[in-house]
Amino acid sequence: MPQGLEEQLKSIVIEATEQAIQEYYERLVAKEWMSITEATKYLGVSHNTLRKYLSSEIPVCVLDGIKRVNKHDIDAFLRKNSY
Instruction: Identify the pLDDT of residue 29.
Output: 66
pLDDT tens digits, one per residue of 48-74: 999 998 978 999 999 999 999 999 999
Pair (48, 58) in one structural domain: yes
Say whether pLDDT at 27 is over 80. no
Alpha helices in the chain (DSSP H): 5-28, 36-43, 47-56, 71-80
Instruction: Identify the pLDDT of residue 4.
Output: 84
Q: Into how many domains does the chain fold?
A: 2
Instruction: Identify the pLDDT of residue 30.
Output: 63
The whole-model pTM stands at 0.62
Pair (16, 43) in one structural domain: no
8 Å CB contact between 30 and 78 = no
Pair (25, 37) in one structural domain: no
Domain range enclosing 45: 31-83
Instruction: Please give the mean pLDDT across all residues of the chain.
Output: 89
